């Protein structure tokens, strides 16, 4: 009788732990959440993959908050980051006209390019009134 033992998982030597998609996703979600909170926005929960087969991003609203789910497989990680940022904007019902003010700050935070701390100031450009064409 052959014993049914699980095959040990071998680490991939070409990837360091901080380069693993799940670790990068968690770090991006944490940074993006800090930035959203600093901007006065609701911080959604993040998960991967979406529950909807074939979807690259989904958003689910619950009484206690919103869940943004993104797919990581088969696409560049930067696309997943962009979907996470868009998820924050949609979860907060930010109109497209205002989203351009928040997007660069949120994208920089998600990409790890912004240092967000408890004392950090996050500056969002003010709204600029656009004169209607006469």
122 in a structural domain: no
Greater confidence, 14 or 71? Answer: 71
pLDDT in tens, 69-95: 999 999 999 999 999 999 999 999 999
128 in a structural domain: no
The total number of structural domains that make up the chain: 1
Residue 119 has pLDDT above 70, yes or no: no
29 in a structural domain: yes
pLDDT confidence of residue 132: 41
Following DSSP, what letter does each residue of 16-27 receive, concatenated? Answer: -GGGSHHHHHHH
Sheet-wide strand order for 45-47: 45-47, 65-70, 57-62
pLDDT confidence of residue 20: 78
Give CB contacts under 8 A, 24+ apart, made by 15-23. Answer: 21/72, 21/77, 22/48, 22/72
pLDDT in tens, 32-65: 999 999 999 999 999 999 999 999 999 999 999 9
In residues, how long is the chain? 134
Displacement of CA 18 from its chain's centroid (Å): 17
127 in a structural domain: no
Residue 97 has pLDDT above 80, yes or no: yes
């Amino acid at each position: 009788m052959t014993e049914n033992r699980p095959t040990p998982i071998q680490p991939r030597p070409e990837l360091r732990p901080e380069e693993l998609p799940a670790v990068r996703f968690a770090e991006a979600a944490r940074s993006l959440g800090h930035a959203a909170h600093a901007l006065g926005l609701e911080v959604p929960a993040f998960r991967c993959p979406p529950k909807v087969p074939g979807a690259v991003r989904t958003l689910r609203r619950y009484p206690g908050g919103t869940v943004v789910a993104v797919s990581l497989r088969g696409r560049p990680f930067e696309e997943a980051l962009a979907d996470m940022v868009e998820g924050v904007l949609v979860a907060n019902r930010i109109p497209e006209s205002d989203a351009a003010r928040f997007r660069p700050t949120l994208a920089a935070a998600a990409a790890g390019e912004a240092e967000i701390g408890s004392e950090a100031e996050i500056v969002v450009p003010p709204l600029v009134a656009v004169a209607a064409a006469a």
